[in-house]
Amino acid sequence: MRIYPQISLATPGDSFRADLVQTLTDGLSRWKDALNAGWIEDDQQGCFGTGRWQALVDAGLTGLVTSEDFGGMDLAAAELAEVLEHLGYICEDAGLGFSLATHLCSTCVPLKTFGSDALREELLPDLVSASRVGAHAITEAHSGSDAFAMKTTAVRDGDAYVISGDKCFISNAPIADICVIYARTHPTKGALGGFSAFAVDCDSPGFTIGKPRKKMGLRTAPMADLYLSDVRVPASRLIGREGQGFVMLDAVMRWEILCVFAIQVGEMRRQFEACLAYAKERQQFGARIGSFQAVSHRIADMHMRLQSARSWLARMVAALEGGGQASLEFAGAKLAISEAHVANAMDAVTLHGGTGYMSETGIEAQMRNAMGGLIYSGTSDIQKNRIAAILGL
């Protein structure tokens, strides 16, 4: 059930490929059952859904951002957002969408944007086919929000770099084959110029993946810590130039926020429509619960937050396609959508009462999953810092 027509995210004058987007979203809808098979049980057990992942691969989603030269589709921001929003709408396994966004943004985006021709040719076809899965590693135990306080180092040694350090909370780590490692390559330089990124094989000698970590939400998206002890990486695996780590991460974060939160807007829409239908159908005290003002106002609040979230998504798309820094739009969008999603998810649980509290319905999982959005890709507090900084405060 769709309550209202979706306004296209395409911006005037861009070359939005409506037919391609329609083909992809129609195709995704055909995979709906496979994308949702067994997700509640896997969420309860904290298992990655191999079959659901394969459905994503078969639907072509692992090639969304990579160019046609390497088997991908090279979607523009508006096209990508529409397809991923549809994924969030039809796929209830938020962890699966999160793993996909991680795969696309951690490796495909930096390789496509900054990688040498040789590196792109070596890695992108396998990342498109998902015969190799991608991840990236930024966070360390002592440097979360202050990401560039990281201590992992990469020291040049002949035709290679030697990387040492520990990384934590790495999404996709338990299933990853290629991990983009961010490391300090200069002893004194700050964020600009002091860090670099490397595409590292996860089976390299000295590269250890820790035990899968248990977490509050997104339990079907596997996560682990990484331990790198004198991992020797060919200099050819440096992405871009030495010292470009900050610039690269800044670009990657934009695409990550776009992808992750486009999916979340789709999830919010599915959740809202289910809540509206429930409010119209559920009877208590001899009347539809939607006829009670307390419930109808909750639905109205959810509607407003959803529309606000999608407007922020559209602003983000326009900013990305506009080519400027657009940091204000990205910080605002990340903050607004993540907080709206949490608020709506809590309302959804409340609206459904005891049913919403039961794991078997998946409604409480949406709330746990949404909470992560306040933290990853820069916490809400950090986004407010960024907004304030850009405003000159």
Partner 1 sequence: MSYPTLRTFIADEFAMDLTPDQLTDDLDLIENGIIDSLGVLKLIAFLEGEFDLIITPDELDPDNYHTISMIEDIIREKHKTAA
Structural tokens at position 103: 């795969």
Q: Residue 126 Cβ, how far from partner 1 at the closest point, in Å?
A: 27
Q: Residue 256 Cβ, how far from partner 1 at the closest point, in Å?
A: 14
Residue closer to partner 1, measured from CB, 375 or 390:
390
- Tell which positions 199-258 bind partner 1, by CB under 8 A: 243-244, 246-247, 250-251, 254
- The catalytic residue among 256, 267, 321, 364 is 256
Query: How far is residue 136 from each of residues 13, 21, 155, 201, 291, measured CA to CA in Å?
Result: 34, 28, 19, 11, 49
* 321 included as an active-site residue: no
184: nearest Cα among 197, 168, 170, 173? 197
Selected range binding partner 1 among 192-200, 281-289, 344-352, 367-375, rule: CB under 8 A: 192-200
DSSP sequence for 296-318? HHHHHHHHHHHHHHHHHHHHHHH
386 binds partner 1 (CB under 8 A): yes
H helices present in 133-211, as ranges: 191-194
121 binds partner 1 (CB under 8 A): no
* Number of residues near partner 1 (by CB under 8 A): 27
Q: Residue 13 Cβ, how far from partner 1 at the closest point, in Å?
A: 17
Round to whole Å and give the CA distance between 158 and 233. 11
326: nearest Cα among 338, 314, 339, 342? 314
Query: How far is residue 331 from each of residues 148, 311, 315, 387, measured CA to CA in Å?
Result: 18, 14, 11, 6
Among residues 191, 343, 374, 375, which is the contact residue for partner 1, using CB under 8 A?
191
11 binds partner 1 (CB under 8 A): no
- Tell which positions 128-157 bind partner 1, by CB under 8 A: 147-148
Residue closer to partner 1, measured from CB, 63 or 194:
194
Residue holding tokens 């990401």? 147
Beta strands at 223-234 and 207-209: parallel, antiparallel or unpaired: antiparallel
Residue closer to partner 1, measured from CB, 148 or 292:
148
Contact footprint for partner 1 (CB under 8 A):
147-148, 188-194, 243-244, 246-247, 250-251, 254, 323-325, 327-328, 385-386, 389-392
Catalytic residues: 256
